[in-house]
Homo-oligomer: A and B are copies of this chain.
Amino acid sequence: MIENNCECTECQFRNVAFSTLKSGQVNDLCTFRKEFLYQKGGIIHREGDPINDFKYLRSGLVKVFKSTSNGSEQIIAITKPFDFVSNISIFSEDRYKYSVSALEESEVCNIRLDYIKELVAGNGKFALELMTKLSRISDKIILQSLDIRKRNLIGRVAYILLYFSSDIYSSNVFDLPVSRKEIADYISMSTANVIRTLSDFRKEGIIRLYGKTVEIVDIDKLKLISAKG
| Separation of A141 and B92 alpha carbons in the complex (Å) | 13
Are A130 and B128 in contact (CB-based, < 8 A)? no
Is A222 interfacial (CB 8 A cutoff)?
Answer: no
Of B97, B120, B132, the residue contacting A92 (CB under 8 A) is B132
Are A92 and B136 in contact (CB-based, < 8 A)? yes
- What distance in Å separates the Cβ of A168 from its nearest Cβ neighbour in chain B? 20
Of B66, B69, B124, B146, the residue contacting A124 (CB under 8 A) is B124
Are A149 and B148 in contact (CB-based, < 8 A)? yes
Are B92 and A227 in contact (CB-based, < 8 A)? no
For A121, list chain B residues within 8 Å (CB).
124-125, 127-128
Is A11 interfacial (CB 8 A cutoff)?
Answer: no
| Separation of A188 and B121 alpha carbons in the complex (Å) | 41
Is A32 interfacial (CB 8 A cutoff)?
Answer: no
| Separation of A119 and B142 alpha carbons in the complex (Å) | 27
For A93, list chain B residues within 8 Å (CB).
139
| Separation of A70 and B76 alpha carbons in the complex (Å) | 25
| Separation of A139 and B148 alpha carbons in the complex (Å) | 18
Are A74 and B146 in contact (CB-based, < 8 A)? yes
Map CB proximity to B onto A81-108 as digits: 1 under 8 Å, 0 otherwise: 0000000111111000100000000000
Of B92, B130, B136, B188, the residue contacting A149 (CB under 8 A) is B188
Map CB proximity to B onto A38-74 as digits: 1 under 8 Å, 0 otherwise: 0000000000000000000000000000101100001
- What distance in Å separates the Cβ of A227 from its nearest Cβ neighbour in chain B? 7
Q: Which residues of A contact B (CB under 8 A)?
A: 66, 68-69, 74, 76, 88-93, 97, 117, 119-128, 130-136, 138-139, 141-143, 145-146, 148-150, 188, 227
